[in-house]
Structure 1
Amino acid sequence: MDYPQIFSKEEYEKRINKLETALSDLDISFIFGRADMFYYSSIGQDGFLSIGSENIRYINRNLELARELTKLDVRHMSSFRVFKDIYREVEPKKIGLELDILPYKTVQYIQSSLKNPEIVDISTKLRQIRSIKSEKEQELMKSAAKQTDESFEVAQNIIKVGMSEIELAVEIDKFLRNDGHPGWVQIRKFDHNYTSNAYVMTGESTRQLNGGFGPVSGQGLGRYHMNGPSHRKIKYGDAVLIDTTGVVEGYTADETRTFFVGNIDPKYALAHELCEQILELIPKIMIDGSSANEIYNEVLDLVKLNNLKNNFMGIGADRLKFIGHGVGLELDEFPIITPGYKDNIKAGQIVAIEPKFIFDDPKGGLGIEDTWIVNNNSAEKITKYPWTTRI
């Protein structure tokens, strides 16, 4: 198989230069995260990336292919003994690791192999650098957004009473895979996997909040997989919430739409209109230099005015205090639109904003999610499927 070059040599050089500057106070850094390795080396093969006096991409298989695809120095690693065999002689005093994702056992092994250097967590710096997207990255994410838009067209044409959530999810997933979606989405959150590329939820399935990092989870298919689409069948009067991800060359777009089957409950109609009002605010308030805390509070003030605070982003004690997240090579990137996020929003970041509401009477929920590119004075919406859809 041919693997066409995605980014220019100059873009990779800029990335490496930024990385070297960010890690200049360390003797050496070792990068293991798939998204981080790919971002700097242009290949997704297993191994790790060493950044220091030499920048080396270690690979455990198919060195010939790796050397064709990356400009970095590529070397073979048979196991983690490389730390004892090669890097022990370097005797670094301070090393960088991604402590948010590396297993403790791996960290211990590296530290003991290198004669107990000081360890510094570099994960935040890596994520901050990757959060600013180049023009080419933005182009890829617009293609991913086109994928999700077209998947909703598929959904609208086949949704019907009596169809199960999982049946609908399979058809959406089939379209996405045929369109080039790899079938999985990279998530940084510890021990978290996506069970479907199309989270389809209806009625009490939407109301059932079983976990995950989003405001809705779905019932899933059993006690082990307790999120995502279930076997529940669509009924007349349901709000069918579909949350999909598009992925092109690793880059992700995130989009949610709600399809109303038959009559719309007045509470649901009000909440859906409020979702639209929130998203109409975003290009005015999510701009370069804006504060995640201010964005969150302005949205929450609008929700309070409509007396729906207790149903916003969950219900009761299960409500989440966020309204959006960065997307890119991972689904859960910086920035996070929550009161606790300290950095200002920056031009070039790409953010999914996802207002959602959950109800007990009738049981269910709804929401809209769009992916936006932050600019200096506005934000550009790249997911474009119509907000309001009735079946």
Structure 2
Amino acid sequence: MAVALMINELDRRLNHLCDLMDQTYPEWDAILILGKVNQYYFTGTMQDGMLVIQKDRTRHYFVRRSYDRAKAESPLTTIYPMESYRDAAGMIGPGLGNTYLETEIVPLAMLQRLKKYFTMTSIHSVDKLVLSVRAVKSPYELEWVEQAGKNHCKLLHELVPPLLREGMSEANFVAELYAAMIKIGHHGVSRFSMFQTEMVAGQIGFGESSLYPTSFDGPGGAYGMCPAVPLLGSRERKLKKGDLVFVDVGFGCNGYHSDKTQVYIFGAKPDADVVKAHRACMEIEQRLAEKLIPGAIPSEIYQSVMSTLSEDFRRNFMGYGERQVKFLGHGVGLHVDELPVITNGFLAELTENMVIALEPKKGLPNIGMVGVEDTYVVSAAGGRCLTGGGTDIIEV
């Protein structure tokens, strides 16, 4: 029964992509899927391999390693072992015609190896169309995102406060946080489509650490372990009374993520101006969530909210200093950062069952980052929250 459901799910995804290709690029002949996350999306397994989709909707999945695992995990019947691309070319023929592949992630060396065995009349990007297909979640996918959101809410509301102890380092806190995540069902990683971005847990910072500059395209910051590993948390920054604790983490179940941020204060009560800024972010999140309806235009949502904010509030909003990001929300799924994006210039209409994380946040000088983030499903009644909704700063 589970296999029959899964093959139906994979057929739906294949047909959706091919329909979009027919509408957008009617001259297409073949699609090559080489990225592991996209392989998982279209085959149900994640291997060192290549999925070839042809215009007649036939698909061939060639696997270097592990062929045995691919056969065990995927319901596809067209899975073949591959030593090199020569084997694939020998089976389906070397002529691919007008070829579309993931130009955002396929390295030049891999493309050159493909060209050694395949003839491609032209090469184009399939990235945006694949992301468009992935943006609308099926009931199967929503079930896993909802499970992630439920566990995520429990993690940040119930399990984090007892972990915080005076004198503990950020690094030790992250270690205990990660252990707690695994114990309640986290799948172990937070995946990002952003080029060369890897993250085990998320962005965690005590006090001013959450304002520290990073290469990550998000409002928050972090000292990280060291320049070579600007992730996780500092061994030197220790928790003290009066510190804000900024926890922005993804949570995943069976490949699918939710995204949520919670702010805490340790051993004190937050000052009135801190509460005011944080609650303003909560109110912005609620206004954004009400606008997550089918047919809404992300660019218009972004402009309608940003235009109401005072110049003073915009200072250090969605980042600190000159490091302000240009969005208020982003899609979530197999990656934490997917389409759509709530930003200026994103004109594609929202569709029912898109999943979007909203994250209004504001940096406070010498204090830290405040604000909220929650994951919502687009619906006719507005965004349906999967992660509990914006919460006041939790006193620990």
TM-score range, shorter chain: over 0.9
Query: Take 1:139 and 1:349, find their aligned partners in 2: how far apart are those partners?
Result: 13
Q: Does 1:265 align with 2:267?
A: no
Query: Take 1:107 and 1:250, find their aligned partners in 2: how far apart are those partners?
Result: 27
Asked whether the equivalents of residues 217 and 228 of structure 1 are also in contact (C-alpha less than 8 Å), the reply is: no
1:214-258 Cα offsets, whole Å, 9 max, x none, are 111301011111233222111222111101211111000011000
Runs of 4+ more than 6 Å apart: none
SS of the equivalent of 1:303 reads coil
Counterpart of 2:252 in structure 1 is 247
Counterpart of 2:303 in structure 1 is 297
Compared CA separation, residues 337 and 385, structure 1 to 2 (3 A): closer
Alignment equivalent of 1:21, drawn from 19, 22, 39: 19
Q: CA deviation at 1:65?
A: 3.7
Compared CA separation, residues 327 and 98, structure 1 to 2 (3 A): same
Alignment equivalent of 1:366, drawn from 367, 370, 374: 370
Query: Take 2:320 and 2:304, find their aligned partners in 1: how far apart are those partners?
Result: 20
SS of the equivalent of 1:311 reads coil
- Consecutive unaligned residues of structure 2, counting only runs of 5 or more, are none
Compared CA separation, residues 348 and 386, structure 1 to 2 (3 A): closer
Counterpart of 2:232 in structure 1 is 228
Counterpart of 1:141 in structure 2 is 145
Mapping of 1:71-82 within 5 angstroms? 71-72=75-76, 73-82=78-87
Q: Does 1:119 align with 2:123?
A: yes
Coordinate RMSD, CA, aligned: 2.0
Asked whether the equivalents of residues 358 and 374 of structure 2 are also in contact (C-alpha less than 8 Å), the reply is: yes
Compared CA separation, residues 50 and 116, structure 1 to 2 (3 A): closer
Query: Take 1:67 and 1:301, find their aligned partners in 2: how far apart are those partners?
Result: 53
Q: Does 1:8 align with 2:14?
A: no
Which AA in structure 2 matches 1:40?
F
Alignment equivalent of 1:274, drawn from 270, 280, 283: 280
Which AA in structure 2 matches 1:41?
T
Residues 318-327 or 278-287, more deviating: 278-287
Residues 46-55 or 102-111, more deviating: 102-111
Query: Take 2:395 and 2:17, find their aligned partners in 1: how far apart are those partners?
Result: 48
Q: CA deviation at 1:180?
A: 2.9
1:340-382 Cα offsets, whole Å, 9 max, x none, are 222122111000111111122x342122110000012311000
Q: CA deviation at 1:108?
A: 3.1
Compared CA separation, residues 61 and 368, structure 1 to 2 (3 A): same
Compared CA separation, residues 71 and 5, structure 1 to 2 (3 A): closer
1:300-325 Cα offsets, whole Å, 9 max, x none, are 234327x2101101123211111111
Compared CA separation, residues 386 and 309, structure 1 to 2 (3 A): closer
Which AA in structure 2 matches 1:341?
F
Query: Take 1:6 and 1:276, find their aligned partners in 2: how far apart are those partners?
Result: 43
Residues 21-30 or 128-137, more deviating: 21-30
Which AA in structure 1 matches 2:64?
N
Counterpart of 1:36 in structure 2 is 38
Q: CA deviation at 1:269?
A: 1.3
- Consecutive unaligned residues of structure 1, counting only runs of 5 or more, are none
SS of the equivalent of 2:37 reads helix
Which AA in structure 2 matches 1:290?
A
Compared CA separation, residues 273 and 67, structure 1 to 2 (3 A): same
Alignment equivalent of 2:49, drawn from 33, 47, 50: 47
Query: Take 2:38 and 2:357, find their aligned partners in 1: how far apart are those partners?
Result: 20
Counterpart of 1:349 in structure 2 is 354
Q: CA deviation at 1:84?
A: 5.2
Asked whether the equivalents of residues 166 and 200 of structure 1 are also in contact (C-alpha less than 8 Å), the reply is: no
Which AA in structure 2 matches 1:292?
P
Counterpart of 2:294 in structure 1 is 288
SS of the equivalent of 2:18 reads helix
Counterpart of 2:384 in structure 1 is 380
Residues 110-119 or 151-160, more deviating: 110-119
1:86-128 Cα offsets, whole Å, 9 max, x none, are 55x4423211101111112222332353234200111100010
1:175-200 Cα offsets, whole Å, 9 max, x none, are 11122323212211111111x31432
Which AA in structure 1 matches 2:239?
I
Query: Take 1:43 and 1:227, find their aligned partners in 2: how far apart are those partners?
Result: 28
Mapping of 1:82-231 within 5 angstroms? 82=87, 85-86=90-91, 89-152=93-156, 153-194=158-199, 196-231=200-235
Residues 274-283 or 243-252, more deviating: 274-283
Identity of aligned residues (%): 26
Counterpart of 1:338 in structure 2 is 343
Q: TM-score w.r.t. structure 1 length?
A: 0.92
Compared CA separation, residues 221 and 12, structure 1 to 2 (3 A): same
Q: Does 1:320 align with 2:330?
A: no
Query: Take 1:63 and 1:348, find their aligned partners in 2: how far apart are those partners?
Result: 34
